[in-house]
Amino acid sequence: MKKLKKILYPLCLIILVFACWNLWKIKASTRQTEELYEKLAQQADSSKSEPQSDTKAEDSQKNHSKNHSLGINTKIQKLQQQNEELVGWLKIDGTVIDYPVMQTATDNDYYLTHDFERNDNVHGTPFLDVNCSLETSDNLIIYGHHMKDGTMFQNLMLYRDAAFCTSNEWILWDTLEESTRYRVVFVIVISKIETETFPYYDYVDLSDKDRYQEFLDGCSEYAVWKSSELPHPGTKLLTLSTCEYSKEDGRLVIVAAADDAADEQH
């Protein structure tokens, strides 16, 4: 028994030290990540300080007019000089989401584990699907981690509440040449098995009206919240995807429509 205790005590101490080190490492990573993206947000002229008042939030949304062409967004241009794989900036009032969005030419997994500065980082960085094109895609699909520390796309979970959906319906999306606001129209919870029937991530080209309607129908089937005003074919879409844990290997998906041609469908 004494020999067993002599073995167990050091082992328990090693486990405790390792657990504390891991916890410190995670907290340090969170702090470094927040500092990096706060710095970048300031450069992109996005505020991450105190929550905006309703008036300020409304003014911010109005500044993102319907598919308003900006010419050249010099702040995005400056960030692209630091990392040419940045394709835009995503901001959602009422959440902490105020992040750069990256895209690689071929590797859809790279920014799952790297930050804007290309350093290894478990938080990753939100990224645009490699199959999407800012110029030609009808549906831009952006992925981000669901982090327990509340960063990245964790705040998308707030959209599971209907009241939050109606009071925080606008997603602001800036690129080098455009500033657009998108209105949330679907909140979807879907498992990996269910994506075999409805692979939402494959609906990038929606130029065909039947294909567009097929996507809307699939969204309706798995929606936990649905707007009374749905987009019609031809309206550009923005889809945000993150992990969700109420279903095995689940995904929470937010689908939003560009604020330029939303029609109410009955």
Instruction: Write the pLDDT tens digit of every residue in 134-177.
Output: 999 999 999 999 999 999 999 999 999 999 999 999 999 999 99
Cβ partners under 8 Å of residue 148, min gap 6? 154
- At 142, is the secondary structure helix, strand, or coil? strand
Of the chain, the percentage scoring pLDDT greater than 90 comes to 69
- pLDDT, residue 75, reads 87
Digit-coded pLDDT (tens) for 11-44: 565 665 555 445 545 555 676 677 878 888 777 6
Using alpha carbons, select from 107, 105, 96 the residue that is nearest to residue 37.
96
- Burial zone of 231 (CB within 10 Å; 0-12 exposed, 13-18 middle, 19+ buried): buried
Q: What pLDDT score was predicted for residue 234?
A: 95
| Tens of pLDDT, residues 97-121 | 999 999 999 999 999 999 999 999 9
Check residue 131 and give left, alpha or beta (phi > 0: left; psi -120 to 50: alpha).
alpha
SS3 80: helix
